């Protein structure tokens, strides 16, 4: 029993690989001791750029259309604009690989990515070379954003905010002294930004983060996971139980919208319409004040991030190595 329960602490990819090897070995024993193992299938899977054991957390797009994806175990996938081929690399050492949680592309096309190990990794050449920076905090980090001015912001537990104004070389840590996990940060200009967090906490700055104002909560029982602000006044926040709230006055008041789902919302993407992606393969489109569920393949995993690839078409990434192009060009009310 102790040997079985010890597997619980292993990462999913290790468990999947171990169980597959065990199955092959068992089949060999049953067939006789002289049978040779056929590991071609395992080797083929391990040579693929994207695997079913991958947990894809963020997809970003550069100004030239090239794309980059981040996942668990230091996973980085890159695709130049001129090809359909993804290249795979894993950052970190053999003993410790970062688990990436969020990423952002800066105005100069550099990219920054945040890991659960309290590190920020950055690349100035679209993922060909990397630098890493340790964050000066013991708090759990959740989200990262690169502002139009090039400042890098990170948010996390105990209402902690960290900023680097020199491309990650140095960091300043502050806290709003609220016992709240900050879950998303979004700058809509070089000076204006929003932060959302646990218990509906809402922060706003109009001076590039030199100071932050705490507005009235979005809702005391609301746990936001995704946020999108179209401009200084107009925004949407999505969270647990499929709740999506909207504001038209810069966060002074919020209205709950009708949603055809009750699963957690992880991401917003604007592409002609405004789309939301979430758990259990859910994609929603905003039509008026109603978030309507879109027809998608039956893949029961989370859709964590997406980018625009054309008029009303998205590229979605998520669990189980999902990399899913979606054509959502159907007309309203069809």
Classify domain 54-327 at the CATH topology level: Methylamine Dehydrogenase; Chain H (2.130.10)
48-59 confidence digits (pLDDT tens): 899 999 999 999
In this prediction, residue 219 has a pLDDT band, given cuts at 50, 70 and 90, of confident
Alpha carbon 101 to chain centroid, angstroms:
6
**Residue 46: predicted pLDDT:** 53
Q: Which of 48, 124, 123 is nearest to 86 (CA)?
A: 48
| pLDDT tens per residue, range 155-203 | 999 999 999 999 999 999 999 999 999 999 999 999 999 999 999 999 9
- 258-259 vs 290-293, strand pairing mode: parallel
pLDDT above 70 (res 146): yes
**Which positions ≥6 away from 291 have C-beta within 8 Å?**
244, 257, 258, 259, 260, 261, 276, 284, 285
Question: Is residue 133's pLDDT more than 60?
Answer: yes
Q: What is the pLDDT of residue 47?
A: 62
Q: Is 0.95 surpassed by the pTM of this model?
A: no
Residue span(s) of the chain under CATH 2.130.10.10 come to 54-327
pLDDT at 166: 96
- Cα 298 to Cα 283: distance, rounded to the nearest angstrom: 11
Q: Is the pLDDT of residue 108 over 80?
A: yes
Contacts of 77 (CB under 8 A, 6+ apart): 49, 50, 56, 68, 69, 70, 71, 86, 87, 88
- What is the per-residue pLDDT across 293-328, written as a single tens digit (0 to 9) for each? 999 988 889 999 999 998 879 999 999 999 999 998
Q: Contact at 8 Å (CB) between 160 and 200?
A: no
pLDDT in tens, 20-60: 444 434 444 334 444 444 444 434 445 689 999 999 999 99
Where is average pLDDT lowest: 14-18, 94-98, 169-173, 257-261?
14-18
What are the residues whose beta carbons fall under 8 Å from the beta carbon of 226, sequence distance 6 or more? Answer: 184, 237, 238, 239, 265, 266, 267, 268, 276
User: What is the tens place of the pLDDT at every residue in 222-279?
Assistant: 999 999 999 999 999 999 999 999 999 999 999 999 999 999 999 999 988 999 999 9
Alpha-carbon distance of 104 to 313, in angstroms, equals: 21
Are 154 and 161 a contacting pair, CB within 8 Å?
yes
């Amino acid at each position: 029993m102790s040997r079985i329960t010890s597997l619980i602490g292993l990462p999913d990819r290790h468990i999947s690989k171990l169980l597959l090897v065990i199955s092959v070995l068992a089949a060999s024993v049953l067939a006789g001791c002289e049978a040779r193992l056929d590991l071609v299938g395992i080797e083929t899977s391990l040579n693929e750029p994207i695997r079913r054991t991958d947990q894809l957390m963020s997809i970003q797009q550069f100004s030239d259309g090239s794309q980059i994806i981040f996942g668990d175990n230091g996973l980085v996938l890159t695709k130049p604009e001129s090809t359909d081929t993804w290249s795979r690399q894993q950052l970190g050492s053999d003993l410790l690989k970062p688990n990436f949680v969020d990423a952002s592309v800066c105005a100069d096309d550099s990219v920054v990515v945040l890991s659960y190990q309290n590190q920020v990794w950055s690349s100035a050449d679209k993922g060909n070379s990397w630098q890493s920076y340790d964050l000066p905090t013991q708090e759990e980090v959740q989200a990262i954003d690169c502002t139009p001015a090039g400042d890098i912001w990170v948010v996390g537990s105990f209402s902690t905010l960290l900023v680097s104004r020199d491309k990650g070389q140095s960091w300043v840590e502050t806290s709003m002294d609220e016992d709240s996990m900050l879950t998303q940060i979004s700058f809509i200009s070089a000076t204006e930004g929003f932060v959302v967090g646990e218990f509906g906490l809402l922060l706003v700055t109009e001076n590039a983060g030199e100071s932050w104002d705490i507005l009235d909560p979005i809702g005391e029982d609301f746990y936001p996971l995704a946020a999108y602000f179209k401009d200084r006044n107009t925004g949407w926040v999505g969270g647990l139980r499929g709740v999506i709230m909207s504001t038209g006055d810069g966060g002074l008041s919020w209205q709950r919208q009708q949603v055809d789902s009750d699963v957690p919302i992880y991401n917003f993407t604007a592409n002609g319409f405004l789309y939301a992606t979430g758990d259990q393969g859910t994609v929603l489109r905003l039509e008026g004040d109603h978030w309507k569920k879109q027809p998608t393949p039956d893949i029961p995993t989370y859709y964590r991030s997406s980018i625009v690839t054309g008029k009303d078409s998205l590229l979605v990434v998520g669990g189980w190595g999902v990399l899913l192009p979606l054509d959502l060009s159907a007309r309203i009310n069809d």
